[in-house]
């Protein structure tokens, strides 16, 4: 049995070896049925298949549909950074207008994103180190350099 994908159409073929007197020859391919990838398998096609062929077709469809889901997920993930940036900017402007239930829902979704990234093997990045606090009585000459230059210009 051969399974061919042509766009969204799936074609199932049965291959017959060449007739016995010829040792070399073309094999014959008979189309058993076609169906749309997003639809169910027609009953006529299932009846024409043997038990092993049905199992092979079911496994092939499972892998095909998983590949389609991954492709769809990749396109969604490609747009995710822009969507998250627009969400962050909207929250910066109007976070105080959210109700408590909406805020809780956002927190739950953020935790789900963090949990999913952790499970996928992407640990949370370390926070950027803060500069050490100056010891009382110490003066930062290089930090004050801009202020000194401005005073000198006046």
% of residues, the chain, pLDDT over 90: 58
% of residues, the chain, pLDDT over 70: 87
59 and 49 Cβ atoms separated by less than 8 Å: no
**16-72: pLDDT as tens digits:** 877 776 666 677 888 999 999 889 999 999 999 999 999 999 999 999 999 999 999
70-100: string of b/e by CB count within 10 Å (b at 16+)?
Answer: eeeeeeeeeeeeeeeeeeeeeeeeeeeeeee
Given a cut of 80, whether residue 93 has pLDDT beyond it is yes
Higher-scoring residue by pLDDT: 41, 154: 41
The predicted pLDDT at position 141 comes to 62
Distance CA 114, CA 108 (A): 10
* Pairing mode of beta strands 2-6, 9-16: antiparallel
Q: Which residues make beta-bridge pairs with 15?
A: 29
Q: Which residues make beta-bridge pairs with 5?
A: 10
Instruction: Mean pLDDT check: name the lowest of 12-16, 118-122, 145-149.
Output: 145-149
What is the model's pTM?
0.62
Region 64-85 average pLDDT: 93
Backbone angles phi and psi of 96, in degrees to 5: -75, -10
What are the distances in angstroms from CA 57 to CA 14, 20, 45, 87, 154?
A: 12, 28, 11, 43, 83
Region 111-137 average pLDDT: 86
Given a cut of 80, whether residue 129 has pLDDT beyond it is yes
The predicted pLDDT at position 143 comes to 64
* In the chain, where the domains are located: 2-91
Q: Which two tokens stand for residue 146?
A: 């801009």
The predicted pLDDT at position 131 comes to 80
What are the distances in angstroms from CA 152 to CA 63, 75, 87, 96, 139?
A: 72, 56, 45, 44, 19
């Amino acid at each position: 049995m051969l399974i061919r994908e042509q766009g969204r159409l799936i074609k199932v073929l049965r291959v017959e070896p060449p007739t016995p007197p010829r040792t070399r020859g073309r094999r014959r391919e008979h189309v058993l049925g076609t169906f749309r990838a997003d639809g169910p398998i027609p009953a006529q096609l299932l009846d024409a298949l043997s038990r092993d062929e049905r199992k092979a077709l079911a496994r092939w469809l499972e892998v095909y549909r998983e590949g389609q889901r991954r492709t769809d997920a990749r396109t969604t993930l490609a747009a995710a950074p822009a969507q998250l940036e627009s969400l962050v900017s909207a929250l910066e402007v109007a976070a105080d207008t959210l109700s408590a239930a909406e805020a809780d829902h956002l927190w739950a979704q953020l935790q789900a994103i963090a949990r999913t990234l952790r499970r996928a093997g992407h640990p949370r990045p370390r926070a950027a180190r803060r500069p050490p606090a100056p010891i009382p009585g110490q003066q930062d000459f290089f930090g004050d350099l801009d202020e000194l230059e401005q005073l000198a210009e006046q």
